[in-house]
């Protein structure tokens, strides 16, 4: 835990006057649990007693005081899932991962939790692994879900996957192509732009395959920094009109040759993006 | 310079007056070509879980590659309700509906739309008549519904405020602002006879009147309760995900009517997409001057903030919700004082459910008289139910109040999912009860359901068939409620725990008839002596199952037998004569408890079997018996 990170969360919430629960949620989403030192800091800064903070942190189920695993596996045990066999699914996860509900495997890979309803009742039993929904699950599928998670749920097989395709983009200001055939990423010409952050100025190459998040940068990969994007030809800032739906950083927009606009989040590491094929905006 | 946005000049410009709003709306309507074929892809949580995201990507690719982006529109929307058929695609303006679409089919659909054709082989097949049905509105699931709220999900992309405005969005707000009489709004809502859709059914207009009459010293609060905690109910999620602006508009009208200046939407943390879409919608409203100070240039000011819950069922109870908003433990408080006198931070507060808020713009736009024509005398309007469990057509159904349970289950729901007969429907979540099949003639309204020992609740409708054990259902709810009881009242904390233990004993075959009597007594004590709604209604699942399915309890107690084959301690798995010796079950068994030669009937070793159900799940020949 870093003190300044927690302080910046506290500061953010001071501005928007949201309560303790939102503060704790943001801390938890940063560290996957609520570190004791963070709670102490929250108590100090908000002027509330540590007992109060601890009370709130233990009252609500979504908070964890223990570090959680790399993957969070939530098995829905709502009524609709229950009558369709969710208890068997939950038991099978417990057996295969060899942990009880709300526990983490010793190798810190998986945390298993039972949740009361995820609101996707029509297609239950539901399992959510790191935000990916699995529907109509039966017990023989449990093993496959665990295997898939270990292999990486986000990894689309770029070459075979028909959902992935190339976007030919250009600068919204000078209309000059941003494609760079001299350097391939994922086997296709990359998109080259100029980025700057904290006084440093350099190139960034993005995969032109829609659905791939491969990037290369002059500075190496810096996650969680918001960068300003510029056209390498006319040097105009590629500023989008909206904020990232995931992290609220400004979006960067580029024209798609075949029609429309693609927007990506300016925060490195964030996967927020929008492909708007008729270009009507919001 | 390339044109980035059609509306770049006015993009997200603040609307300084009602006239500016009208001008924007007229221009949007003028630019919209309703004859242009549009592919509508529902992408709520259910649809995305079923693969809608892949369809969206492929559609974009096909439209781009074929240069069709000018000729064919694409709209990504929230849930349309027919979750069973997801991922599905709707074509406008023809109304053609394609269920269970995959990537390959999607490519063909784009092609067909471009050529103005219909793909007969991909249409919905009605299972009772084996007839193919092209149009969505002719499908039995949709035909009997009155989709006042849900149909609007089809028309808008939830992250595009222009879609909402183009479809008469914020017109009700404008009507109210132009009229300039807050009192009239309250009277209109009262006249509509709208009752709270969250469960208790308190008349909304009356609640607003109480709030409006409070002195406005330090401000008042309006809350949208989106802590949809009832397991098996998800209509609020679908409305928030699919049409967040309708909630915002409802709250703005409420704020104007009651003199409140601050709104809070309390959303449970388990609904990430609802939170995301609402955040985007709030931001758009701020930018366009539909929220904040001097809305549309008038002297009306109102703001809304979003508060996330953190996984506590009791926070759906209004006094607990208030504490949670204040950043405290969500323990209920004694009433009175009622929230409408002393709510958030001690200020007068009115709390309404998501679906209630979504009805407000409809009432104002149509007029109370028109609105109250739908439904029954004591229960006006429509109600959305989540029809789930052991039923063929699962999904969200919106029906006029007063429709019978039978019509929902048989006509809309399409009846049982397998050979097993439907025996009960559970309504009202953990606070509700089970209604047996022989009472399915019951009309659905607040009062009839209460008389039958259940409640309307927020709208979960979980269908149970012969393979559902009612003792197990009661045990399930007691287990749920003992975990969710906040612990403040002794009778709730300990009483539910004891009820759970007794029901658990029954499920293990260790119960006695005396204990059943004790269970009933205990249930009544908990009901009478707890403070908040959670405790007072907690015994309902036990009382209603005892009332209608006592024979199942007795069967567990006397014969140590679970008729539905659910209670693990009382069942054994075996393989019957249907077995073809395909060995699929052998591979699925985690304990290697199944033996037999290939192409010969197999058997299960009872000592080794852990009753995980894997063999039954994979068997294609119904050869695994549970008894």
Closest Cα to residue B290, out of B21, B8, B22? B21
What would the mean pLDDT of B104-124 be, rounded to a whole number? Answer: 96
pLDDT, tens digit (0-9, with 9 covering 90-100), for B57-90: 899 999 998 999 889 999 999 999 999 999 999 9
Nearest CB neighbour to A277, from listed B63, B270, B386:
B63
> What architecture is domain B470-559?
Up-down Bundle (1.20)
Do B70 and A259 make contact, defined as CB atoms within 8 angstroms? Answer: yes
For residue A202, the SS3 value is strand
pLDDT, tens digit (0-9, with 9 covering 90-100), for B322-346: 999 998 999 999 999 999 999 999 9
Do B50 and A210 make contact, defined as CB atoms within 8 angstroms? Answer: no
Is 80 exceeded by the pLDDT of residue A220?
no
* Chain B, window 429-468: residues with a beta carbon less than 8 angstroms from a chain A beta carbon: 429, 460, 462, 464, 468
Tokens of A49: 């007693």
- Taking CB atoms and an 8 Å cutoff, what residues of chain A touch B457? none
The minimum CA-CA distance between B47 and chain A, rounded to whole Å, is: 9
The minimum CA-CA distance between B324 and chain A, rounded to whole Å, is: 8
Residue B74 near chain A (CB below 8 Å): yes
The minimum CA-CA distance between A137 and chain B, rounded to whole Å, is: 10
Residue B212 — pLDDT band, cuts 50, 70, 90? very high
Is 70 exceeded by the pLDDT of residue A101?
yes
More confident residue, A272 or B131: B131
- Taking CB atoms and an 8 Å cutoff, what residues of chain A touch B229? 116-117
Is 70 exceeded by the pLDDT of residue B8?
no
- Taking CB atoms and an 8 Å cutoff, what residues of chain A touch B164? none
What's the pLDDT at A280? 57
* Chain B, window 391-410: residues with a beta carbon less than 8 angstroms from a chain A beta carbon: 394-396
Nearest CB neighbour to A241, from listed B11, B230, B612:
B11
Answer yes or no: are the C-beta atoms of B361 and B339 closer than 8 Å.
no
CATH of domain B155-371: 3.40.50.11540
- Taking CB atoms and an 8 Å cutoff, what residues of chain B touch A211? 57
What would the mean pLDDT of B287-310 be, rounded to a whole number? Answer: 95
What's the pLDDT at A205? 92
What's the pLDDT at A282? 46
What's the pLDDT at A162? 65
As assigned by CATH, the class of the B32-143 domain is alpha beta
* A-interface mutation test, from B1, B387, B388, most A Cβ less than 10 A away: B388
What would the mean pLDDT of B580-606 be, rounded to a whole number? Answer: 92
As assigned by CATH, the class of the A71-151 domain is alpha beta
Nearest CB neighbour to A62, from listed B63, B310, B460:
B310
The minimum CA-CA distance between A203 and chain B, rounded to whole Å, is: 24
Do B617 and A139 make contact, defined as CB atoms within 8 angstroms? Answer: yes
Q: Going by DSSP bridges, is the β-strand pair B38-42/B73-77 parallel, antiparallel, or unpaired? A: parallel
pLDDT above 90 coverage of chain A, percent: 47
Residue in chain B closest to A89 (alpha carbons) equals: B612
For residue B178, the SS3 value is helix
Residue in chain A closest to B463 (alpha carbons) equals: A80
Do B310 and A24 make contact, defined as CB atoms within 8 angstroms? Answer: yes
Q: Where are the domains of chain B?
A: 32-143, 155-371, 382-465, 470-559, 572-626
Average pLDDT of chain A to the nearest whole number: 87
Residue in chain B closest to A116 (alpha carbons) equals: B231
pLDDT, tens digit (0-9, with 9 covering 90-100), for B377-387: 888 999 999 99
The minimum CA-CA distance between B103 and chain A, rounded to whole Å, is: 8
Q: Where are the domains of chain A?
A: 3-59, 71-151, 165-276
Nearest CB neighbour to B614, from listed A17, A139, A278:
A139
Do A123 and B49 make contact, defined as CB atoms within 8 angstroms? Answer: yes
Place of tokens 């928030």: B240
* A-interface mutation test, from B3, B310, B471, most A Cβ less than 10 A away: B310
Residue B50 near chain A (CB below 8 Å): yes
Do B388 and A253 make contact, defined as CB atoms within 8 angstroms? Answer: no
Answer yes or no: are the C-beta atoms of B76 and B47 closer than 8 Å.
no
Torsion of CA B34, B36, B37, B40, to 10 degrees: -50
The mean-pLDDT minimum among A166-175, A238-247, A265-274, B190-199 falls in A238-247
Helices (H), B310-367: 318-325, 354-366
Answer yes or no: are the C-beta atoms of A122 and A111 closer than 8 Å.
no
Interaxial angle between packed helices B52-65 and B103-115, expressed in degrees from 0 to 180 and rounded to the nearest 10: 40
The minimum CA-CA distance between A57 and chain B, rounded to whole Å, is: 9
User: How buried is B586 (Cβ within 10 angstroms: 0-12 exposed, 13-18 middle, 19+ buried)?
Assistant: middle
pLDDT, tens digit (0-9, with 9 covering 90-100), for B429-476: 898 999 999 999 999 998 888 888 888 888 999 999 999 999 999 999
CA–CA gap between residue B538 and residue B276 (Å, rounded): 33
Answer yes or no: are the C-beta atoms of A37 and B307 closer than 8 Å.
no
CB count within 10 Å of CB B121 equals 7
CATH of domain B572-626: 3.30.70.20
Answer yes or no: are the C-beta atoms of A178 and A208 closer than 8 Å.
no
* Chain B, window 151-170: residues with a beta carbon less than 8 angstroms from a chain A beta carbon: 159-162
* Chain B, window 464-483: residues with a beta carbon less than 8 angstroms from a chain A beta carbon: 464, 468, 473, 476-477, 480
Residue B223 — pLDDT band, cuts 50, 70, 90? very high
Tokens of B148: 């006042």
Answer yes or no: are the C-beta atoms of A114 and A91 closer than 8 Å.
no
Size of interface A-B (CB pairs under 8 A): 249
Average pLDDT of chain B to the nearest whole number: 93
Q: Going by DSSP bridges, is the β-strand pair B89-92/B73-77 parallel, antiparallel, or unpaired? A: unpaired
Q: What is the DSSP string of B58-76?
A: HHHHHHHHTT-TTTSEEEE
The mean-pLDDT minimum among A186-190, B91-95, B101-105 falls in A186-190
Q: Going by DSSP bridges, is the β-strand pair A250-256/A169-170 parallel, antiparallel, or unpaired? A: antiparallel
Residues contacting A165, CB < 8 A, separation 6+: A209, A210, A211, B57, B61, B65
* B-interface mutation test, from A79, A170, A245, most B Cβ less than 10 A away: A79
Do B49 and A260 make contact, defined as CB atoms within 8 angstroms? Answer: no
What would the mean pLDDT of B188-211 be, rounded to a whole number? Answer: 94
- List % helix, strand, coil for chain B (3-state, nearest 5): 45, 15, 40
Nearest CB neighbour to A63, from listed B58, B162, B310:
B310
Residue B4 — pLDDT band, cuts 50, 70, 90? very low
CA distances from B364 to B177, B190, B265, B297 (A): 11, 11, 21, 21
Nearest CB neighbour to A117, from listed B232, B325, B588:
B232
Q: Is 3.40.640.10 the CATH classification of the domain at B382-465? A: no
Residue B265 — pLDDT band, cuts 50, 70, 90? very high
What's the pLDDT at B455? 86
The minimum CA-CA distance between B46 and chain A, rounded to whole Å, is: 5
Tokens of A28: 């938890």
CA–CA gap between residue B289 and residue B578 (Å, rounded): 68
């Amino acid at each position: 835990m870093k003190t300044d990170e927690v302080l910046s969360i506290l500061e953010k919430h001071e501005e928007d006057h949201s309560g303790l629960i939102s503060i704790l949620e943001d801390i938890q989403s940063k560290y996957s649990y609520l570190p004791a030192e963070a709670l102490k800091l929250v108590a100090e800064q908000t002027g509330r007693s540590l007992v109060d903070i601890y009370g709130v942190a233990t009252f609500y189920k979504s908070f964890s005081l223990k570090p959680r695993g790399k993957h969070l596996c939530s098995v829905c045990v709502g009524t609709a899932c229950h009558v369709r066999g969710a208890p068997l699914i939950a038991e099978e996860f417990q057996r295969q991962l060899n942990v009880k509900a709300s526990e983490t495997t010793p190798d810190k890979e998986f945390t298993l939790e039972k949740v009361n309803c995820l609101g996707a009742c029509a297609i239950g039993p539901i399992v959510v692994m790191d935000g990916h929904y699995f529907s109509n699950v039966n017990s023989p599928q449990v093993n496959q879900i665990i295997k898939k998670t270990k292999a990486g749920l986000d990894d689309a097989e770029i070459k075979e996957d028909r959902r992935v395709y190339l976007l030919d983009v250009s600068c919204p200001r000078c209309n000059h192509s941003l494609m760079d055939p001299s350097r391939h990423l994922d086997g296709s010409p990359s998109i080259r732009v100029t980025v700057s952050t904290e006084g440093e100025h350099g190139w960034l190459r993005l995969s032109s395959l829609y659905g791939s998040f491969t990037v290369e940068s002059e500075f190496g990969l810096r996650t969680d920094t918001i960068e300003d994007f510029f056209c390498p030809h006319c040097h105009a800032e590629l500023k989008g009109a909206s904020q990232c739906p995931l992290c609220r950083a400004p979006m960067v927009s580029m024209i798609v040759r075949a029609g429309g606009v693609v927007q990506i989040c300016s925060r490195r590491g964030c996967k927020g993006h929008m492909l708007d094929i008729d270009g009507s905006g919001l | 310079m390339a044109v980035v946005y059609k509306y770049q000049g006015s993009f997200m410009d603040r609307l300084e007056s009602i006239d500016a709003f009208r001008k924007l709306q007229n221009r949007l309507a003028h630019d919209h070509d309703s004859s242009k074929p549009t592919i509508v892809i529902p992408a709520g949580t259910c649809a995305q879980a079923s693969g809608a995201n892949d369809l969206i990507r492929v559609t974009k690719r096909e439209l781009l590659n074929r240069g069709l982006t000018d000729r064919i529109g694409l709209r990504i929307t929230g849930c349309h309700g027919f979750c069973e058929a997801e991922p599905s695609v709707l074509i406008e303006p023809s109304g053609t509906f394609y269920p269970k679409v995959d990537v390959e089919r999607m490519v063909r659909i784009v092609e067909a739309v471009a050529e103005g054709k219909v793909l007969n082989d991909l249409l919905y097949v009605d299972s009772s008549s084996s007839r193919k049905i092209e149009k969505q509105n002719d499908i039995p699931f949709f035909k009997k519904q009155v989709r006042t709220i849900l149909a609007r999900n089809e028309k808008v992309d939830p992250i595009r405020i222009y879609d909402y405005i183009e479809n008469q969005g914020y017109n009700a707000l404008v009507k109210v602002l132009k009229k300039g009489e807050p009192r009239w709004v309250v009277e209109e809502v009262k006249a509509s006879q709208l009752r709270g859709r969250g469960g208790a059914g308190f008349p909304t207009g009356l609640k607003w009147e109480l709030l409006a009459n409070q002195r406005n010293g330090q401000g008042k609060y309006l809350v949208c309760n989106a802590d949809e905690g009832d397991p098996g109910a998800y209509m609020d999620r679908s409305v928030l995900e699919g049409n967040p602006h309708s909630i915002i508009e409802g709250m703005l009208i409420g704020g104007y009517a009651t003199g409140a200046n601050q709104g809070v939407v309390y959303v449970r943390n388990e609904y990430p997409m609802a939170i995301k879409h609402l955040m985007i919608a709030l931001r758009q409203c701020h930018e366009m001057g539909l929220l904040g100070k001097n809305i549309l240039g008038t002297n009306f000011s109102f703001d809304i903030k979003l508060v996330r819950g953190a996984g506590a069922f009791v926070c759906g109870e209004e006094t607990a919700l208030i504490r949670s908003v204040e950043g405290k433990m969500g323990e209920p408080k004694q009433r009175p004082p009622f929230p409408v006198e002393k709510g958030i931070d001690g200020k007068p507060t009115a709390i309404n459910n998501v679906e209630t808020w979504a009805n407000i713009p409809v009432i104002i736009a149509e007029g109370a008289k028109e609105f109250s024509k739908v439904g029954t005398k004591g229960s006006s309007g429509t109600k959305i139910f989540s029809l789930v469990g052991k039923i063929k057509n699962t999904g969200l159904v919106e029906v006029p109040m007063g429709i019978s349970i039978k019509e929902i289950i048989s006509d809309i729901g399409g009846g049982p999912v397998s050979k097993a007969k439907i025996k009960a429907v559970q309504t009202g979540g953990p606070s509700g009860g089970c209604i047996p099949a022989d009472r399915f003639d019951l009309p659905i309204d607040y009062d009839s359901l209460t008389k039958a020992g259940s409640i309307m609740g927020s709208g979960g409708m979980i269908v149970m068939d012969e393979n559902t054990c009612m003792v197990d259902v009661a045990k399930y709810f007691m287990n749920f409620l003992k975990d969710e009881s906040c612990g403040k009242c002794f009778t709730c904390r300990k009483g539910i725990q004891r009820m759970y233990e007794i029901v658990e004993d029954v499920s293990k075959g260790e119960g006695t008839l005396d204990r059943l009597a004790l269970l009933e007594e205990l249930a009544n004590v908990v009901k009478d002596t707890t403070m908040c709604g959670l405790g007072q209604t907690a015994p309902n699942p036990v009382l209603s199952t005892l009332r209608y399915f006592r024979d199942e309890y007795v069967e567990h107690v006397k014969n140590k037998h679970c008729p539905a084959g659910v209670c693990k301690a009382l069942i054994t798995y075996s393989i019957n004569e249907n077995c073809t010796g395909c060995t699929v079950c052998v591979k699925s068994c985690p304990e290697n408890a199944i033996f037999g030669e290939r192409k010969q009937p197999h058997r299960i070793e009872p000592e080794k079997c852990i009753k995980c159900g894997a063999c039954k799940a994979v068997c294609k020949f119904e050869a695994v018996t549970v008894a």
